[in-house]
């Protein structure tokens, strides 16, 4: 099914954001695990996997619309050197993704591409949940202090 060029271009922008998130979250997860913060490392690792699933769905949709997915383009990774910085950087990444998804949903409505709109709405819900989790973690750090927060992150976790 031949898709509209603007839809395919927008999907490639979304794909770029998803690929960036995969890499940033994966590295943050590995760093947390290396420091012994298994609990938060596991959560961030699973967020990376969720972003990979989004990238797969977006790639599949681009191919379905007879477009060419651009897997080479990434935004600059913002790697934190401490857990609070990681969370803030991940939040900024999500805060850039949400307007992009909303703009994409509007474009899909304009071109009556209901399948792509539905996909973007699902991704948007996931990203909003992730923003909520990140904001909650930063709020907790503000309430209990970074040292107390990190003490809770030493809980046993699997080495993913």
Mean pLDDT confidence for 100-106: 99
The structural domains of the chain, with segments of one domain joined by +, span 5-152
Residue with tokens 């009556």: 112
- Provide DSSP, the chain: -PPPHHHHHHHHHHHHHHHHHHHHHHHHHHHHHHTT-HHHHHHHHHHHHHHHHHHHHHHHHHHHTT-----S--PPP---SSHHHHHHHHHHHHHHHHHHHHHHHHHHHHTT-HHHHHHHHHHHHHHHHHHHHHHHHHHHHHHH-HHHHHHHTTS-----
Question: What is the value of pTM for the model shown?
Answer: 0.92
Q: Is the model's pLDDT at 3 over the cut of 90?
A: yes
Domain covering 5-152 in this structure, CATH number: 1.20.1260.10
Per-residue pLDDT reduced to its tens digit, 70-89: 999 999 999 999 999 999 99
- CA–CA separation, 17 and 2 (whole Å): 24
């Amino acid at each position: 099914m031949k898709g509209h060029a603007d839809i395919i271009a927008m999907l490639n922008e979304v794909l770029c954001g998803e690929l960036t998130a995969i890499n940033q979250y994966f590295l943050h997860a590995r760093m947390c695990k290396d420091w012994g913060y298994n609990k938060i490392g596991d959560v961030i690792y699973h967020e990376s996997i969720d972003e990979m699933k989004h990238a797969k769905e977006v790639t599949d949709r681009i191919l379905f619309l007879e477009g060419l997915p651009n897997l080479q383009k990434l935004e600059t990774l913002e790697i934190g050197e401490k857990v609070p910085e990681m969370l803030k950087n991940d939040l900024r990444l999500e805060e850039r993704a949400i307007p992009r998804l909303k703009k994409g949903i509007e474009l899909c409505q304009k071109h009556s591409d209901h399948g792509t709109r539905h996909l973007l709405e699902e991704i948007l819900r996931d990203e909003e949940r992730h923003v909520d989790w990140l904001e909650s973690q930063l709020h907790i750090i503000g309430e209990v202090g970074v040292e107390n927060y990190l003490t809770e992150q030493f809980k046993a976790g699997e080495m993913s």
